[in-house]
Amino acid sequence: MDEANKNMYGEIEEIIDDIEQRFNQINKFSILYYPPNDHHFLKYDRNSKNMGLDSAFRQQIEKEWLLLEKKLPSSIVVKSYEKRIDLMRTVIVGPPNTPYAHGLFFFDILFPRNYPNCPPRIHYHSYQLDLNEFLDPKGKVTLSLLEGGNIVANWYCGVQGKWNPHKSNILQVLTAIQTSILSTTGVNPCGREGYKNAFTSTCKGMICMLKEPLMNFRDFVAGYFRTRAHHILLNYKKQMDDSDSMVDLFHELYRAFEQNGTYCKHHILVDLPAEEKIKQPRVS
């Protein structure tokens, strides 16, 4: 390798290492000082009395913090805020063996003044994509646990119910979004076409996030897709048909990953089995 190329590759490796190091240092739960300016509920008219050290509201929120710190799965990351304890921001990784696999799904959370007597409010960052019937492009999340009520069966046995002030918590809500909404059964309409729509929307979301990552999660988004790009592209090839729309989306996806620091061009050159009849992306 000549000296010019050696220097070039050395610079790339330093950038990659920096991205991965920051990503590996991210905790699944953390408390920051201020919420981000792009938080959906930032301008919500909070009750400052609820924020006091001795308030029942604060004590309840701190219980939620402890629960999240101990019980959050590695596939969910939550940021909370010392100066706005009524707000959270979270990202949920799409479960494997679903059209949402490897995708990232962002939600802003508001704990109302009378929490936990009322369930938290959740806003989904859709990037204007119509993912499924439970996640509206305008941000509404449809989930039984977000409805007022007094029945919650044993959640850890997999039975959902409405919000119960004495038993329900934000961990249950986040887990329900991941296991129920982001599932194969959450695809609408059912069948191959519905699965394809959910899958391609998930991939379009990846491109949007890389272009405009949400505040507090920029390092996470960059590092996550740095480490998952190859798996995502391989999975895409398994799902790909010969339609121009899927071919073009593959092209956009690998370009976004390369701009994020992952070398992906070898995916374009892979010879796939003839029986798969997959049209190769056009390289510009």
Residue-wise pLDDT tens digits, 78-112: 999 999 999 999 999 999 999 999 999 999 999 99
What does the CA dihedral 20, 29, 125, 170 come to, rounded to 10 degrees? Answer: 160
Helix, strand and coil content of the chain, in percent to the nearest 5, comes to: 45, 10, 45
Cβ neighbours of 95 (radius 10 Å): 16
Q: What is the DSSP letter of 146?
A: G
The domain locations on the chain are 27-223
Q: What is the DSSP letter of 71?
A: H
Burial bucket for residue 252 (CB in 10 Å: 0-12, 13-18, 19+) = middle
pLDDT digits (tens, 9 = 90+) for 115-161: 999 999 999 999 999 999 999 999 999 999 998 754 443 333 344 58
pTM: 0.85
List of the chain residues with pLDDT < 50: 1-14, 150-159, 269-284
Hey, which CATH number is domain 27-223, 3.40.50.920, 3.30.950.10, 3.30.2230.10, 3.10.110.10?
Answer: 3.10.110.10
What does the alpha-carbon distance between residue 66 and residue 101 come to, in Å, rounded to a whole number? 28
